[in-house]
Every structure is written in structure tokens, then in C-alpha cells.
Chain A
Amino acid sequence: MAEKSAGKRVLPQKRSRAESEKDRPPGLNENEKSIYMLIKSREGMGISQPDIRSAISLDIRTLNKVLDSLQTKQFIKMVNSARNKRAKIYMDFHCQPSSELSGGHWFTDGHFDEALVGAVRHSCLTLIKTLGVVTVDDLISSINKRNIVVGGVTRAQIDDILQSLKVDGVVDELRSSGIGDFSRVPVGKVCYKIVADKKQPLVGAMASIPCGVCPRITECTPDGIISPDTCVYYQNWLGF
């Protein structure tokens, strides 16, 4: 249906009379019907209360009453948005929250799954280091073949990980030239490689002395209570 692909729209789509009649659920008054139809049209994306109000002008008390009644009658349900914990989203009772609403493919039970991100990131890095040059397909098949992630990884997950590795300056995105390191990847295909000059983080001058990372530096003065002469961080550092 056309409406399904336009799930993000706030306003309901015009429907033909026959279709509208057919979809109209029994046992609902006019307000309940129009609000239910609006919520239903948003499918897995759902809609927030302020958005309903801007689409259908109703005073807040009536609106809340209608929403409560629809929930009681199990026409709609309220879900939380992973992005905005305070926002209450209403959705058709039988719909599943979209991945955008549930937080995406890194959310498990509404929580960001750090361990999952860490495991996939680590696997990708190890594979890129081992294979030299890899494509997204290589990564998906290798990770899934090894059963590293329960239920397997998706392309979207691998894309996310590669994006974060690029942002961190750890991997480069290149197009295969088909020769040398790239010989196993078809010419022109996008592939990934560890950044050539990726160095270990430098041991900075400030980072290697106690004062550089000292939480008390602003209170430390030559003759103060906290001073280099009495500093415990230095005592420990120098092993005195």
C-alpha cells in the first residue's frame, strides 16, 4: 500500500470512501475513529501526542480521554522511543515498533547493546587485519560462518561498524584496483583496509606526567596545601 511506504508522514493519507468504510473499526465514536485511523496510518513508526494534536485539533482533555479509551479497548498501545525516552508514542495495537523507534539494530530489549557492538567491531577488525582487504559481503559471511553473533549479523550492522571504524581513522574505504592486495576483490568494488599509517596513540609529554592528568591541578600552588612538595601523585609515581 502507498501509505505503508510513507509511514513517517504525520498527516493521514486520503483514502477512498469504500476503503475507509471497510477499515473503520466498529464500536468507536467519531473522535476515536479519526484518531485511531491516524495512528494506524503511521504503522510501526507510531505518533506522539503533540503530533496527533497538530493533525487533528482537539482539546487536550478530550484527546487524552480518547487515547485512554483506545488503549483500554486494545485498539492502540503506547511504546517508548529509544531515542527520546520521555516521548510517548502511540501505535496500532498489532504493529511492531520500527527499528528507528526501537533504537535500531543495536538495541536489545530497548537498550543499546554495547557488548554486541564491541563483539562485532572486534570481529570486523580482526578479519580486516587477517584478510588485508575485505568487502562488506566478506565480513558478513565470515562472521556468520563463525557464528560469532547469535542470529547472525546484518548488512546494516556491518555498515555501522565500518562507518565508526572510518570515523576513528582505523580503516580506509577504497575501490578495488584488482591488483596486488586487491586481487581477490573485483575491480571497482568498495572494500576496506586498515589505515596504512595508523600508529599507536602517541605517549604525549603531558599525558606521561602526574600533573598532566591531575584532577587537582587548579588547586595546586607552590606554597598551598596541595603543592608539588607534598604531592602524593608524585610520591607514588616516583616510588618514594
Chain B
Amino acid sequence: MVSQHGLKLAARLITSHFGDLVGKVCECLLRRGTLSLLEIIRFTELSSSQVKNSILVLIQHSCVQAFSIPRPVASGAEIRTVTQYMALFDNILHRLRFSKFLSIVQTDLGLQCRNLLEGLLQHGRLTFEQLAEREVSKKQFEGSTSSQDSLRVEFDRLVHARYVERCPKPEPFVSPPVEDKLTSARKRGANLVNIGTDEVLESKTSDRISDVPGGHKRKHEALEIDKETEAVIVESGVLWRVNFEKFVQCLKKKACVANARLRLGLDAGIILEAMIESNTTQGNKNSVQSSLENIIEAVRGKPGGISMTLEHVRVILEKLGSSLSSEESGVLYEIDLKAIIRICQTDEVEALVLKKYGEVAYRIFRFLAKQAVVQETDHISDVTLIEKKITQGILVKLWKDDYLEMKKAIAQGSGQTQHFLWSVNWDELWEHILDDMYHAALNLSQKISHILEQEQEALQDKAKRQRLQKGRLTLEFSLLKLDDALMLFHDF
């Protein structure tokens, strides 16, 4: 379930990108869950055409998924197929990270591919023809040229690297058992939002949804750029969209590599990156597996990797927490990426505790974060060598702010003594931190808009405008950084 501030942030993003009407419709779907067109009209009190247009915009940008389900009409006797609309929370939030997606593609495939991707990000679903047309006219405007053929080659690369994928059928049909799940989910509460992307919908219902032309979407490994695919690309009417899942994977990899580099040095970053690139596991996205030979080969192909000895690579793999398994193909190294993400999450929370509550609280929190069982106040004070009263005060403060969990225990002896036992409840803490992060991101984006307005008002005052611009850049950079942290807790 998405937190209240998560919903507010998503609604705000849509409003600022597409205007108030689309924002209102999207917020209605985010808050109330899956709805039919008539229900949206009733709840938003907008006209039918306004709602329809808004829905079209949202579907075009993969922010809403439409699907058909059979539903009994009023009397209960007759069953009719009704189209339902569901907001895709994750996809909406991806709008925060378009600049990151563009930079990934530019680094990997070059500027031309980046420009093509930009077209898809700006316009949502497009056919290759539309995309090429847009690109050609843009080039003409800039005074350069670009042929359809060269664009197709670049587009092939985007498809081949899975940055772009074919759109599934716009309105898949969901048969009754799934309808039950969906309607019961709606009954559970108006605030319950189906946060899964359309991938969730597709995977849950993959064998129920009939005739999905984009059905090969989940078989990327089988996707080969052969003549047939090329033909599909240029085929008129075939819609393409950005494959968000691929970008999430790329960003996850980047986060893990950055953490390894920070924690264990440059070489660890190179080795982990090499290992991820030579990964042989397909299904499990939380771990990577590769043989030492393949890792070495990938390491050697990287700047700074050529000089690394076999022993050095082995030692670093061990430091990275790898495990060894023996497969038919030989001995394989395996690294749990989830464990690295967990370190990143803990680092983020610890940094927050340090800044918000100070060094002593940071030491106490770090101690508790490492414990598997509850700890008593006196013991915490003894092992950290922090005075008992101070320890007690900090523990209570962290508990009040939901960073810690507290339990009371009564010891029966000559009299009754009460003991306070403390621990970190990670699940609750993650939820609470994530909600605060959504709130902070919401505030940052509101502040950015506010400064933009002030910049407009200060057109005549150059010095003030420059000061505002500088401030806005700081905020935009902070929002990008905060979004990295958001992904740690929500997407990875």
C-alpha cells in the first residue's frame, strides 16, 4: 500500500506535467483504486469528455492501465464487460527520473539513441514512424539531417538493449477470478491503490489475458534483432514505449556499484560491475552469479581492471560478501544484491539519525541496528559507555519518533523491577522513512515550482533572478538525490 504522501507526490507530478484536469482524474484513481469511466465522472464531477481526454493522456504516458472485466449489472442477473482504469503509481513516479534514464542511454548507446528515447519519454507511446518523423523534423529545424534508415538502426539498438519495448494490448481482458480479486481489493478500502505496474497486472493475469500482441514482452531473452523484428519496428500501427523495468534494473546496479566503491574502494566497484555484466542468472533479479573466468574477462575489459590479479579479484569478491556454489558449468560466485541494497538503506537511515539526533544517538542506533534481539537500557549504556540517563533520554526520543520499538518487562525478585527493552523494527521503520521521503520530495517539488513562479515575477531584476535560479538548481539536484534514496526503499 502506498503511503499518503506517496499518493500526494504522484498526484502533484501529474498535475505539474499535464495540468489540473488530468491531475484531478489521476488523483481520483490513485486514492480510490480501480474505477470505471462513469465512476470517475461521478467522483471528480468533471464532464465526460474532460475525463475521457484525461484518461487518454494518462494511458498514452503509461500512467494508467485500462482493462476489461465482466461485471454484473444492476439486477445482478446480467453480466457485462466493463472497462476499468487503474493508476500505475510506480510509472507515475518514474517521471521524476527521466533525466537519469536519458543519461543511462546516452552513456550506453550514444546521443542519437538518447534523442529517440527522449521522444518516447515526452510523448508516451509512439509508433516508430511517429518517432522518426519527430526526429527528422527536429533535425531539419536544427539544420542537420537524419534518414529513416539510420534512425531505424538506432531504434533497433534501443529495442535490442530492452530500453524500449512493444506496448501490450491497450485493454486486456481479465476473466472472472481476477475480477473477484480486484473488486474485493476495492471493497477493502477506498485508499487502497493497486500500485503494481502493468507488468504486475500482466504477470498476474498472463494466462488469462487473451490475445496480447505484446505478449513476447516477458521473453526478452529470446528477443533477437532479426529481420522479423526489424519488420515489426517499421510496421505501421505498432506502438512502442519505454521499458521502465529495465531502467530500474540499471539504476539498481548503479546504486550497488556506487556503494561497493564507497565502502571497499574503486576496485570493488569495478569488480561488482563486471560481475553484474557477466551475470548468468535470469530469473532472480536480487542476486548475480558468474564464474571467476567470466568475471575476470569482464574486469579486464574495464579501465583500471587490466592490472588486477586473480588473487586480488578473489579477495574483493569475498569482501563483497559473495558465496560459492558448484554448478554443472563449474564453480560460480554469487552476490546478493538485496544485501547491498540493505546496506545502502541502513546507511541512509543512520546518516539521518546522525544529522537529526547527533553523534551519541547515532552510536546507540548503530548498536541496536546490528542486534538480532532486544537490548536492555543498562546493557546499552554499558557497552556503548554512554551515561545511563543520556542513553535513556535518547532511546525514548528515538522511540517517540518511531525509529525504535520498546517493550516493558517486569522482573520478579525481592521486589518488582521494570526493564525497558529496545530494538529496531525494520519493516515499520522503512515504511515510516519512505513516507517522510515522499513528503520531502513533495515539498521539494512544490518549492521548485514556487521558485519558478518567483523567477517569472523577477524578470526585470537580474540579480534576484540569478539568485533564484541558483536556489532552484540546488533544489533540483537535491530532488534527484532524494529520488535515488526513494528508489532504494521502494523500487529495488
Given contacts A121-B385, A197-B263, A213-B356, contact A208 B481 (CB under 8 A): yes
CA distance in complex: A238, B446 (Å): 15
Asked if A50 and B415 make an inter-chain contact with CB atoms under 8 angstroms apart, the answer reads yes
CA distance in complex: A207, B367 (Å): 20
Asked if B439 and A222 make an inter-chain contact with CB atoms under 8 angstroms apart, the answer reads no
CA distance in complex: A10, B414 (Å): 10
CB nearest neighbor in B for A235: B471
Number of interface residues of B (CB under 8 A): 49
Chain A residues with CB below 8 A from B433, complex form: 206
B234 within 8 A of A: no
Chain B residues with CB below 8 A from A197, complex form: 263-264, 319
Most A CB within 10 A of own CB, among B352, B385, B414, B484: B385
Q: Name B436's contact: one of A117, A167, A217 (CB within 8 Å).
A: A217
Asked if B440 and A211 make an inter-chain contact with CB atoms under 8 angstroms apart, the answer reads yes
Chain B residues with CB below 8 A from A54, complex form: 414
Asked if A112 and B444 make an inter-chain contact with CB atoms under 8 angstroms apart, the answer reads no
A59 within 8 A of B: no
Chain B residues with CB below 8 A from A205, complex form: 348, 437, 478, 481-482, 484-485
Kindly specify which of A64-72, A134-142, A157-165, A180-188 makes contact with the partner chain.
A157-165
Interface string of B377-398 (1 = CB under 8 A from A): 0100001110110000000000
CA distance in complex: A52, B481 (Å): 63
Chain A residues with CB below 8 A from B468, complex form: 240
A151 within 8 A of B: no
B467 within 8 A of A: yes
B160 within 8 A of A: no
A3 within 8 A of B: no
Kindly specify which of A29-37, A38-46, A171-179, A226-234 makes contact with the partner chain.
A226-234
Asked if A168 and B351 make an inter-chain contact with CB atoms under 8 angstroms apart, the answer reads no
Asked if A229 and B385 make an inter-chain contact with CB atoms under 8 angstroms apart, the answer reads no
Q: Which residues 253-270 of B sit at the A interface, judged by CB distance below 8 A?
A: 262-264
Asked if A202 and B440 make an inter-chain contact with CB atoms under 8 angstroms apart, the answer reads no
B39 within 8 A of A: no
* Known contacts A161-B385, A209-B444, A228-B443; 4 further A-B pairs (Cβ under 8 A): A106-B385, A167-B383, A206-B437, A231-B443
Q: Which 10 A-B pairs have the closest CB atoms?
A: A204-B351, A211-B440, A207-B355, A205-B485, A238-B471, A112-B387, A164-B385, A50-B414, A228-B443, A228-B447
B interface list, Cβ under 8 A from A: 8, 262-264, 319, 347-352, 354-356, 362-363, 366-367, 370, 378, 383-385, 387-388, 414-415, 433, 436-437, 439-440, 442-444, 446-447, 450, 467-468, 470-471, 474-475, 478, 481-482, 484-485
